Amino acid sequence: MEVPSGVATDRVVDFDIFNPPGVETDYFSAWQSLVRPDGPGMVWTTANGGHWIATRGDVVRSLWADSERLSSEVLAVTPGLGEMMKFIPLQQDPPEHGPFRLSVMKGLASRYVVALEPKVAEVTRELIAAIKPAGACEFVEEFAEILPLHIFLTLIDVPLSDRPRLRALGAQLTRPDGSMTVEQLRDAADDYLRPFIEARMANPGEDLFSRIFVAGVDGRPWTMDEARRMCRNLLFGGLDTVVAMIGMITLHLARHPQDQTYLRAHPELLPQAADELMRRYPTVSVSRNAVVDMEIDGVQVRAGDIVYLPSVLHNLDPSAFEAPEEVRYDRALNPTRHTTLGAGAHRCVGAGLARMEVIVFLREWLANMPDIRLDPDKPVRMKGGNVGACTALPLIWN
């Protein structure tokens, strides 16, 4: 795509968000390659049809929360994805999205998250018991891809045996490989969800979807189209982000055995340790499209332009956090300060659930596993996309 008129050459890059240079070995360094000392806060990439990328922490943070000039309808850089998915409430803008988001938040109220904590601990211990005797594991395949999906499928009360099928759909949304069109991806999700939606709308139970349906939308029932779009949103939202989060956190522990020792000795610090590790290893990025012509960081952004907002470039910006690449368990950190789980009106509706899962994982893993380290004979592999992740994390222990 042509570079917009008036954009200086130092603002133009050829940066593919799905495959940043060097992402296979270090997702974070790959993204930080965009940042230059005293460099611009916005750049234009010619990749993927051309779009803006916010590269400075203050710009990322302010635009993430700007729902007046930027719309969430576009969803992603992937052509056609937003038009096909029409997620509720993720692709809605205020004030329309407010009543829908409120209903989803009621379904994910803190009392339900607290009630689920014993199940998270139970599944974590079961997975540990399965891998521990071997002295080694491929953590992503044997643990990270199982725990969060197990919990989410329990939450929506669908068969746990469906996990591999759904995991494949989640990967196609955030890291598409071209094997499915966006229409095929949407239809596959809808075909899977349809019988569950129809059953829960007719006879609500105690699962997450049922609780949301019972809450209604601003005093009225959900329509079938709205219910399908909302369940589609929650399904994809629950399939990838926590998997990536747990993978990155475990990679840190494997690289820093002293942190394993320290956290075992200070279990009271696990909640703030979870917050700090989530801040340090963010992998979620979002797309927004401008609804008006505006100036951002000295460049003219036209109505309709896509602006890409990577949480990694906010969380690892020294102007946003002191020594951001250091993990400091005594860092005074409100979880809403970092953008790992979003910011503003579209902060992740499942943020409380995700945080609880990470805390419980850390508690049970450190209590029941010996010191872990990376297998020196097998490489760590990573992948880019709207949710970056470890795709291979080989661990060993004595």
Contact 285, 310 (CB under 8 A): yes
Region of 334 on the Ramachandran plot (φ > 0 left; ψ -120 to 50 alpha; else beta): beta
CA distance 182 to 188: 10
CA distance 163 to 385: 21
Question: pLDDT at position 206, please?
Answer: 95
User: Model confidence over 337-384: pLDDT tens digits?
Assistant: 899 998 888 899 999 999 999 999 999 999 999 999 999 999 999 999
Question: pLDDT at position 290, please?
Answer: 95
Q: Residues of 21-37 as b/e, b for ≥16 C-beta within 10 angstroms?
A: eebbeebbebbbebbee
Could you tell me the two tokens for 363? 């508690």
Q: Residues of 230-269 as b/e, b for ≥16 C-beta within 10 angstroms?
A: bbbbbbbbbbbbbbbbbbbbbbebbeeeebbeebeeeeee
- When pLDDT is averaged across residues 56-73 and rounded to a whole number, the result is 94
Q: How far, in Å, are 75, 81, 104, 229, 232 from residue 84 at the CA level?
A: 10, 5, 21, 10, 11
User: Model confidence over 163-208: pLDDT tens digits?
Assistant: 888 888 877 877 778 888 889 989 999 999 999 999 999 999 999 9
Q: CA angle, 242 as apex, 180 and 143 as ends, to 5°?
A: 90
- Spell out the domains of the chain, with CATH numbers in brackets: 9-397 (1.10.630.10)
Residue 336: CB atoms within 10 A of its CB come to 13
Contact 1, 46 (CB under 8 A): yes
- What value does the mean pLDDT of the chain take? 93
Question: pLDDT at position 5, please?
Answer: 83
Say if residue 106 is exposed, middle or buried (CB neighbours under 10 Å; 0-12, 13-18, 19+): middle
Given a cut of 90, whether residue 37 has pLDDT beyond it is no
Given a cut of 80, whether residue 2 has pLDDT beyond it is no
Query: 129 pLDDT band (50/70/90 cuts)?
Result: very high
pTM for the complete prediction?
A: 0.94
User: Model confidence over 273-285: pLDDT tens digits?
Assistant: 999 999 999 999 9
